[in-house]
């Protein structure tokens, strides 16, 4: 039996992932704390031998506004709802607080930490299921991201996470054509389907599933490689952050531990994900619980030989 795999992917975005929902000026301290906490996350990864894929918004890699504009694609998304466009938002913002938008120094720190993979979260947090945009605009976005990563960091990005977990068959094909061989897909439950349509019932079931078993099993066999298609690695669980909910958070953590134990025994794959900015509030508590989880994983590694692998290494482990 093959060794079980514990995979982690992080949606690394700062304000690029939240510009359509929150005012930048109201969240400056939140992003400042996020940038402080990233090195501590890396320390824990290195301490416990944890690999991870950092699905990074390409815009975050830029040094400043000038460089961002230089690499921005000529073909921009034609959303009917302009609020979803990072470019429209930037035009209105005029003089944004760039410290909450750009963090190439953190990208370098991630690159220098053992076992870490830089992946893509598109160039401008592109929503592939919003009305008005077309596949070629998405292709242009991916090319901009690849070009910036190559020129600035000598990176060839191969793993992709779709913003807001929105995707369909056509954009998966485009992503594969643009060099992305490994893609995080959604859990195999109805309440994770079509995430652009997030009704109350779906949210209710997603929350409930973090405490008790509601959906499909969270672990799965390593997907079979099909020629001409990327490898899809479904997410197993979102690591929800601590928010002054100690008892509830411990219960959510117990659920993840229980799932990891079953995975370790099964020889299959478990894929955990979260946003680094989730630790921007209560960073001490979130880091504490993250280390608790890694200590538990370390005990499973010693007993069952489960291994930690980023998305690319997981997909290639066949």
pLDDT per residue rounded down to tens, the chain (318 residues): 689 999 999 999 999 999 999 999 999 999 999 999 999 999 999 999 999 999 999 999 999 999 999 999 999 999 999 999 999 999 998 788 999 999 999 999 999 999 999 999 999 999 999 999 999 999 999 999 999 999 999 999 999 999 999 999 999 999 999 999 999 998 776 445 676 666 666 675 566 566 667 777 789 998 887 788 999 999 999 999 998 877 888 999 999 999 999 999 999 999 999 999 999 999 999 999 999 999 999 999 999 999 999 999 998 876
End-to-end CA distance of the chain: 12
pLDDT at 96: 85
pLDDT at 207: 64
Helices (H) and strands (E) in the chain, counts: 10, 9
CA torsion 238→164→23→201, rounded to 10°?
-70
pLDDT at 202: 61
Rounded Cα gap, residues 263 and 257, in angstroms? 10
Rounded Cα gap, residues 116 and 177, in angstroms? 24
pTM of model > 0.85: yes
Q: Which domains does the chain carry?
A: 5-316 (3.20.20.370)
What is the sign of the dihedral through the CA atoms of 31, 32, 38 and 44?
Answer: negative
pLDDT at 95: 80
Neighbouring CB atoms inside 10 A of 30's CB total 16
The two tokens of residue 7 are 């995979």
pLDDT at 1: 61
pLDDT at 190: 46
pLDDT at 316: 84
The answer to whether residues 40 and 289 touch, using CB atoms and an 8 Å cutoff, is no
């Amino acid at each position: 039996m093959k060794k079980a795999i514990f995979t982690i992917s992080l949606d690394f975005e700062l304000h690029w992932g939240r510009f359509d929902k929150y005012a930048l000026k109201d969240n400056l301290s939140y992003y400042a704390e996020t940038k402080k906490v990233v090195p501590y996350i890396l320390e824990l990864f290195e301490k416990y031998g944890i690999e991870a894929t950092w699905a990074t918004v390409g815009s975050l890699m830029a040094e400043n506004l000038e460089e961002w504009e230089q690499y921005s694609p000529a073909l921009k998304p034609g959303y009917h709802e302009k609020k979803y466009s990072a470019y429209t938002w930037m035009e209105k913002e005029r003089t944004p607080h760039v410290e909450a938008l750009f963090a190439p120094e953190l990208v370098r720190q991630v690159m220098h930490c053992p076992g870490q993979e830089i992946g893509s979260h598109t160039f401008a947090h592109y929503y592939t299921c919003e009305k008005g945009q077309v596949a070629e605009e998405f292709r242009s976005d991916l090319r901009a991201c690849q070009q910036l990563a190559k020129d600035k960091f000598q990176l060839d990005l191969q793993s992709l996470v779709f913003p807001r977990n929105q995707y369909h068959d056509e954009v998966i094909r485009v992503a594969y054509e643009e060099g992305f061989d490994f893609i995080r897909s959604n859990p195999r439950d109805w309440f994770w389907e079509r995430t652009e349509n997030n009704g109350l019932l779906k949210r209710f079931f997603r929350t409930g599933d973090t405490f008790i078993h509601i959906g499909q099993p969270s672990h799965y066999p390593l997907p079979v490689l099909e020629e001409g298609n990327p490898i899809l690695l479904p997410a197993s669980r979102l690591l929800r952050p601590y928010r002054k909910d100690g008892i509830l958070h411990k219960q959510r953590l117990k659920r993840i531990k229980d799932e990891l134990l079953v995975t370790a025994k099964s020889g299959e794959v478990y894929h955990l994900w979260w946003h680094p900015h989730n630790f921007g509030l209560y960073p001490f508590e979130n880091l504490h619980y993250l280390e608790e989880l890694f200590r538990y994983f370390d005990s499973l590694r010693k007993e069952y030989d489960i291994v930690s692998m980023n998305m690319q290494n997981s997909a290639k482990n066949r």
